[in-house]
Structure 1
Amino acid sequence: MGVERYESPDATTVAKVVETALHEGAVVTAEVNCEVEYDGRTSGFLGPGDRLLVAKPDGTLLVHQPTKHKPVNWMPSGGTVITTVSEESEDPVVVARRVNPRERVEVRIHETYGLTRFDASDAAEYEESGTEKEMHEFIEANPDSLEDGLRVVEHERETKYGFIDFYAMDRTGTPVVVEVKRVQATLTHFDQLKRYVSLYEDDGEVDTAERDVRGMLVAPSASERVKRACRDAGLEFVALPEFETDATSVTDATLADFN
């Protein structure tokens, strides 16, 4: 591991350090004033401002504004990053591009406050906590966390529509179909639960006495729209906020999602 720091480097130094570092497998970060242009599935422009620029040897390029955790512009891994000096403005220009889909992000740097080359070594595998499997284990061991008196009858019961996460009984003996989601509940999840519950309203799936089944959607959170859809359909939403983390990565958005 090694770190090289450059304070207020000129354009030639920026271009040389970035090109050499990425070629040799190092990560580069820079505090800059820049503007950004994107061309690909859509087009976009971000005017001048102070930002943090991160370039990685796998072709990843990230442009962060001073606030918010997600980059305002980025190129995912798999592309190429090159750096030149503009003949017209004599400013460093960092360009990230990929072929499929055809996209291009161009960062024109007006001022570089600082530049760092980081020769990093990291072979560790990320181990995530709060996964859906852990939610299942928690619910199976603590059904009262969903409702007092709830009893799990079967975990992952198979149906013609897929596997029901939990088939349970409430304290009155009424069947409860429980669908668990690791992320914020959506209308798609609501529709999935509704399909499962419909199985128990049709002849042949369960005994006649069991057709008055309840449906319960469990997730860290849900929008008011999803909660309203559940209420209108006679279903229930139960929040487990202790499992709520930011499970959305930058790859879930598109390059056109910047300001």
Structure 2
Amino acid sequence: MKFISCENPSTSETFKIIDDGLRKRALIVIFACCKAIYEGRARSQLGFGERAIMLKPDGAFLIHQDRKLDPVNWQPPKSRSKVKMREGVVFLESVRRAPEERLEVELRNIHLVSYYIPQDAEDLEVTGHEKDMGEMIWNSPELIEKGFRPTVREYSTSKGFIDILGKDKDGSVMILELKSRKAGVSAVKQLRRYLKDFEEDKKKVRGMLVAPSATEDALELLEETGLEFKALEPPRELKIDKKITLDCF
């Protein structure tokens, strides 16, 4: 069975569903009043309260309260979970070997227990970072200016890595510092440090900060130091994979 759910289950029903879900490496979700005790790199105790508990197929174990984004207690992937019955009470145990950590959860007043065997092999696709800006500029250098020719990405210097190194239409070296968000003074200072590695270059060297926008202080410092600014938004489009292999639609 791919999915099973039981409202207000008995302790024996709870034990059976969780045990079955663990054996099938399913995604298990429990709503119950619970108490949690952790021992490992530190020690903690969480008294009884109404919470959501999630056991994932990769071994992750999460306890969520009705507030905050992060779980109040958790164990990372590759932890080993077990369900036990002691004197008519259901206990969950999650153990991590290295470093040695143990989380035990006592369940009372169980409102819902369920498991689901999902099919999901996709990774989260994120766009809009400096890396995406670099790829966009590399493929469409005219976005910087007509005649710009990028030659190297992530060029190593004594002060760090230049995002894009290239030349303008006149053959002058151009150093591009990319920021996917509003750039500040620190970005301008970083660009200035890169230019110091080219002080002995006999040809003209141009430094350009590329970002959607810049603070007033950053723009003033750019002007004072003879550096340039190019307003450019990072790409926001996601790659659409039209091949659908699952029946989730």
TM over 0.5: yes
**What letter matches 2:39 in structure 1?**
D
Name the TM-score, length of structure 1 as normaliser. 0.64
SS of equivalent residue, structure 1 residue 66: coil
2:31 corresponding residue in structure 1: 31
Structure 2 counterparts to residues 168-179 of structure 1, below 5 A? 177-179=175-177
**What letter matches 1:46 in structure 2?**
L
Q: Distance in 2 between matches of 1:7 and 1:215?
A: 61
2:202 corresponding residue in structure 1: 207
Question: How has the CA–CA distance of structure 1 residues 55 and 242 changed in structure 2, closer, same or farther, with 3 Å as cutoff?
Answer: same
Question: Residue 242 of structure 1: CA displacement?
Answer: 6.6
1:138 corresponding residue in structure 2: 136
SS of equivalent residue, structure 2 residue 57: coil
**What letter matches 1:216 in structure 2?**
L
Question: How has the CA–CA distance of structure 1 residues 25 and 209 changed in structure 2, closer, same or farther, with 3 Å as cutoff?
Answer: closer
**What letter matches 1:77 in structure 2?**
P
Q: Distance in 1 between matches of 2:49 and 2:176?
A: 48
Q: Distance in 1 between matches of 2:108 and 2:125?
A: 39
Contact 2:151 2:165 in 1 (8 A): yes
Which entry has the higher C-alpha Rg, 1 or 2?
A: 2
Structure 2 residue runs of 5 or longer lacking an equivalent are 237-249
Question: Residue 156 of structure 1: CA displacement?
Answer: 0.7
**What letter matches 2:79 in structure 1?**
G
Structure 2 counterparts to residues 152-163 of structure 1, below 5 A? 153-156=150-153, 158-161=155-158, 163=161
Q: Distance in 1 between matches of 2:172 and 2:209?
A: 12
| Bigger mean CA deviation after superposition, 52-61 or 151-160 | 151-160
Question: Residue 114 of structure 1: CA displacement?
Answer: 0.4
1:19 corresponding residue in structure 2: 19
| Bigger mean CA deviation after superposition, 98-107 or 160-169 | 160-169
1:53-110, CA deviations, whole angstroms, 9 ceiling, x for partnerless residues? 11123322122233444433221221200112344xx542211111111122222223
2:97 corresponding residue in structure 1: 99
Question: How has the CA–CA distance of structure 1 residues 48 and 119 changed in structure 2, closer, same or farther, with 3 Å as cutoff?
Answer: same
Question: How has the CA–CA distance of structure 1 residues 78 and 9 changed in structure 2, closer, same or farther, with 3 Å as cutoff?
Answer: same
Q: Distance in 2 between matches of 1:189 and 1:45?
A: 45
Q: Distance in 1 between matches of 2:78 and 2:210?
A: 38
Question: How has the CA–CA distance of structure 1 residues 52 and 209 changed in structure 2, closer, same or farther, with 3 Å as cutoff?
Answer: same
Structure 2 counterparts to residues 71-110 of structure 1, below 5 A? 71-87=71-87, 90-110=88-108
**What letter matches 1:164 in structure 2?**
I
Q: Distance in 1 between matches of 2:107 and 2:194?
A: 55
1:193-214, CA deviations, whole angstroms, 9 ceiling, x for partnerless residues? 675344234x3xx33643xx53
Percent of pairs with identical residues: 28
Structure 2 counterparts to residues 37-48 of structure 1, below 5 A? 37-48=37-48
Q: How many residues align?
A: 232
Contact 1:197 1:215 in 2 (8 A): no
Structure 1 residue runs of 5 or longer lacking an equivalent are 244-259
Question: How has the CA–CA distance of structure 1 residues 56 and 178 changed in structure 2, closer, same or farther, with 3 Å as cutoff?
Answer: same
Question: Residue 167 of structure 1: CA displacement?
Answer: 2.5
Contact 1:230 1:237 in 2 (8 A): no
RMSD: 4.6
**What letter matches 2:101 in structure 1?**
E
Name the TM-score, length of structure 2 as normaliser. 0.66
Q: Distance in 2 between matches of 1:228 and 1:64?
A: 43
**What letter matches 2:202 in structure 1?**
D
| Bigger mean CA deviation after superposition, 108-117 or 128-137 | 128-137
